[in-house]
Amino acid sequence: MATNNYQGGKAYGQQLARQEAELDDINKQFLSSGNYDDVEELADKLVMYKAQFIRFDLDRSGDIDEMELKQMLEKLDQPKTHLEIKKMIASVDTQNTGTISYPDFLIMMLGGKNSVLRMILLFEEKAKPKPKPEGIAKKMSLHDLGIRPEMAQHLG
């Protein structure tokens, strides 16, 4: 008789925690390497890139493969052909695995080399809607509105 394993959620949470710890270790290596000291707000960027990588690594394998990259680009409204995806991966895959590892992902995002994938990801981050102010707008003077005093006289 087969036994049911109802611990899928718990196992998934443990796997995610392991992956986050591994990525944190890699982030620490990047911070201490000295290779990226000229990058502004490096620690903040590494946290942001870790979250992006986890979001795109759907199977939690530690690498972004062709199908995950394809799904990611489709979610970003940037669908690509199979050949284009293979070229994107090859352009950043330093270990010739056919996938994008987290160190490869960080090198791509932090390095000076511009790749199509990097541009798409940076555009996605900049395109996120900015939080709108809440509550009543502050009272604005004519100066705040860009109306010069001589123009205000003509308003009535």
Whole-prediction pTM: 0.67
- Give the model's pLDDT for residue 111: 76
- Residue-wise pLDDT tens digits, 26-72: 999 988 888 888 888 889 989 999 998 998 898 889 999 999 999 98
Cβ atoms of residues 57 and 105 within 8 Å: no
